[in-house]
Structure 1
């Protein structure tokens, strides 16, 4: 996995960890999949339903990437966030709150 963090990604030739993260999160369905896993482990079928029936091929691809990046793990209860994944999603929650406040302000103007 260390090699992945030095590999150039879209928009960056450096492979810096922040650029790799932003590249991964910017892929279709990435944020939604991680967001839906915040409540706990779910089966593949449940996760697909939570994600508005995303293509099973795409869901499998994202889950494989997230497992390699140690954001997601699979156990007898289904797919769930790892410690890194949970920490990442807490940052999403802060952004969600910020976005709610921001949108309210825009609506007032």
Structure 2
């Protein structure tokens, strides 16, 4: 199993572990962005999150949630489920302009 990327340690695309490269490595992992996107609203239980992610396999979802928790982007609220941390919400907010850009890009002639 791959380890959670950390700034300052080598990662895909960067031997020095520059923070932007580490972040892109983390976000580029299979299902990662989808998990973050589905947590943009209220907290979700593992089962609800799995269903929201088109029934991603439980092992992949567990791995992604572990990586997100290790990166302080997601937390587990025992009574409500998984939710974005303040840092995770900030990341999502910074990505939202890309959603608008992608919509414009998709409509280009």
* Candidates 33, 36, 40, aligned match of 1:34: 36
CA-atom RMSD in angstroms? 1.2
* Candidates 41, 62, 86, aligned match of 2:64: 62
TM value normalised by structure 1: 0.91
**Structure with a larger share of its residues in helix:** 1
Q: Could you tell me how far apart the structure 1 residues matched to 2:84 and 2:45 are?
A: 13
Match of 2:9? Answer: 7
Whose Rg is larger?
1
Q: Could you tell me how far apart the structure 1 residues matched to 2:48 and 2:64 are?
A: 15
Match of 2:47? Answer: 45
Number of residue pairs the alignment of both structures matches: 104
Runs of 4+ in 1 over 3 A off after TM superposition: none
The CA deviation at 1:4 is 2.4
The CA deviation at 1:91 is 1.9
Match of 1:89? Answer: 92
Q: Could you tell me how far apart the structure 1 residues matched to 2:56 and 2:106 are?
A: 27
CA deviation digits over 1:62-90, x for unaligned, max 9? 10010010000001210000001001111
The CA deviation at 1:92 is 2.2
TM value normalised by structure 2: 0.91
Moved more, 45-54 or 7-16: 7-16
Secondary structure in 2 matching 1:28? coil
Match of 2:103? Answer: 100
Q: Which runs of 5+ in 2 are unaligned?
A: none
